[in-house]
Chains A and B, each alone.
Chain A
Amino acid sequence: MYLRAGIDSLLRMNHTRSAVPGFAIAVAVLIAGLLLALTVGRYPVSLGDLFSVLYAKAAGHRPDVAPAVESVIWQVRGPRVIAAMLVGAALAVAGTAFQGLFRNPLVSPDILGASSGAALGAVIGIYLSFSVFAIQAIAFLGGLIAVGVVYAIGASVRSRDPILVLVLTGVVVGSLFGAGVGLVKYLADPYNQLPAMTFWLLGSLSATGTSDLLPLFGPVAAGAAVLIALRWRMNVMSLPEEEARALGVATGPLRIAIVAAATLVTSASVATAGIIGWVGLVVPHLARSLVGPDFARLLPAAAILGGGYLLLIDTLARTMAQVEIPLGILTAVIGTPFFIWLLASVQKNWS
């Protein structure tokens, strides 16, 4: 009896410990991303200088390094690093939630039109020469409207497979908003506004300053908190609708809560950094291979890994060439082959 209990607890320990190496790798990626992002660049900072600046900040005295080093770390790279982490974590968490909710490992956060809605909002903001803050707000609003429209149409179309209807509606509404983006670009002033729109649509963190962090952090923290709080129910939500209900989950309200939270974090990150595709598709898979499919572990792991992933991509984007490479292009270059590989391997599993 005691032996049995002992073996059980040992097995359980082993079971819970099996996720530890996965989390360790995710945290290691994040730390590597942080160190690289803060030190590498046009103005290289040595690791020693970085640590003395960080230590001095913690201890509250002035570091014995050149003032330029301090300003590079706190004013130039600091906000950008925090934004990259938040955007990466947001997209990864939203992608994880959407993949679970739609029971499809090939969907990503923009599946319900959040990205294209936010993009239309932003280009309209640029076209009307709004302030940066107003552009962010209207982008955010655009994302929520797009998802709201998708959801309303999906709910009013009667079907045996509401999820499929929702995803297809997302594709259709997304392309309509995409056409709207095209129209605004066509009408825009080609010397002043068009480059800003194009640049923003391709995804970039180069213009991120301290003032951008709060409007990004608020929605991302709120949405991610909701998703992480619901992570135990997310397992059941990834089952077919009727099974989930038979297990005691009120699927309707819960699905709305998850979609709203995931849209919130997606829109906030699109409003700050433009459209950065693929992160929400690639990172959940990497996280799943590290800690397994259980959302209780998967969501936190995806958030950590997503932050590290986008930090590494952003560092690459600003150091690879003489000019900055837009983030959306880099993530697509990595994401496309990944998606093809995924499609092939997933089909093998399904058959």
Chain B
Amino acid sequence: MILEGRQLSIGYQDRVVGSGLDVQLANGEVLALLGPNGGGKTTLLKTLLGLLAPRAGEVRLGGAALSSRTVRERARLIAYVPQTHVATFAFSVEAVVLMGRTAHGDLFARPTSDDRRVAAQMLDRLGIAALAQRPYTMISGGERQLVLLARALAQEPQFIVLDEPTANLDFGNQGKVMREIRALAASGLGVLFTTHDPNHALRAADRAYLLRGGERIAEGPVQEILTRERLEALYGAPVHMITDASGTAFVPG
């Protein structure tokens, strides 16, 4: 299955953020979206999720227009992992993950034993089964990110879209989330994530998509696309590249 945006103009009712954007993402592939603040990353993400209507162009999913599918059908195909936020109500972690099953039941459906099994399985998969009964408000930021990821997995989607999954995470948890992203792709999911760190793209993504001022600067395999010159052009700031036997890393200059 392929998720793609064709000649997208993205933006809000009062302003266009970007135009002429083509994006493609296939199952089993990881695409990283990079660019400076205000460059249109989140807007593009929301447009591809169907949360924001494109101003022009079309988002297609599995050969059909995304807008032709109901909200519920979409949720069974694409899952969204938002940036972690402070929740208003102290739902248990299990209840939060169970919300991922919403699109699998009808309007009045209570969670079935099957839903509970899937939720438990996803908590297990991410190694946070022990948190199941803890209030979502009382766990760490890194744990919350994993819970939201478990909720997205519980949707049993084809694609997962993550908005800055490593923001607000400590070094160790950043690594853990990157590993999980690779594992998701290995299990056949198409993954799209935004990040401020080119090293994360280098490590976890197959392809990178560089977005600045609502325009695509470059797109392609991470090893080819992520060069010092391109990153300097992308962020308008000096970048150093460090290379040794184990690989390459970028540091802001």
Contact = CB atoms under 8 A, between A and B. Distances in A.
Contacts of A239: 99
Contacts of A64: none
B237 interface: no
A105 B111 contact: no
B70 interface: yes
B86 A350 contact: yes
A117 to B, nearest CB: 27
Contacts of B71: 245, 248-250
A247 interface: yes
Contact of B137 (A105, A233, A296, A349): A349
B200 interface: no
A157 to B, nearest CB: 12
B108 A232 contact: yes
B103 interface: yes
A350 B86 CA distance: 7
Nearest to B120: A8
A42 interface: no
B102 interface: yes
B208 to A, nearest CB: 24
B72 A243 contact: no
A100 B88 CA distance: 9
A230 B107 contact: yes
A325 B243 CA distance: 80
Nearest to A293: B89
B108 A230 contact: yes
Nearest to B109: A232
A297 to B, nearest CB: 10
A296 B86 CA distance: 22
Contact of B82 (A158, A240, A254): A240
Interface string B144-188: 000000010001000000000000000000000000000000000
B133 A158 contact: no
B92 interface: yes
A104 interface: yes
B64 interface: no
Given A105-B88, A238-B89, A250 B70 contact: yes
Interface in B110-144: 110-111, 116, 120, 133, 137
Among A230, A246, A350: residue with most chain B CB under 10 A: A246
B43 to A, nearest CB: 12
A294 interface: yes
B46 interface: yes
A228 to B, nearest CB: 10
B205 interface: no
Interface string A204-246: 0000000000000000000000000110110110111011011
A325 B176 CA distance: 62
Contacts of B110: 232, 296
Interface string A1-42: 000000010001001000000000000000000000000000
Contact of A15 (B88, B109, B133): B133
A350 B87 CA distance: 9
Contacts of A238: 88-89
Contacts of A78: none
Contacts of A233: 102, 107-108
Contacts of B74: 248
Contacts of B155: 247-248
B91 A245 contact: no
B246 interface: no
A162 interface: no
B103 A248 contact: yes
A238 B82 CA distance: 15
Interface string A82-122: 00000000000000000010011100000000000000000
A292 interface: yes
Interface of A: 8, 12, 15, 100, 103-105, 158, 229-230, 232-233, 235-236, 238-240, 242-243, 245-250, 254, 288, 292-294, 296, 349-350
Interface of B: 13-14, 46, 49, 51, 70-72, 74-76, 78-80, 82, 85-86, 88-92, 94-95, 99-100, 102-103, 105, 107-111, 116, 120, 133, 137, 151, 155
25 contacts: A8-B120, A158-B13, A158-B14, A230-B108, A232-B109, A232-B110, A233-B102, A233-B108, A235-B95, A236-B99, A236-B102, A239-B99, A240-B85, A242-B46, A242-B82, A243-B82, A245-B51, A246-B51, A250-B71, A254-B107, A292-B90, A294-B91, A294-B92, A296-B110, A349-B137
Given A243-B82, A246-B79, 4 more contacts: A12-B116, A245-B51, A246-B82, A247-B155
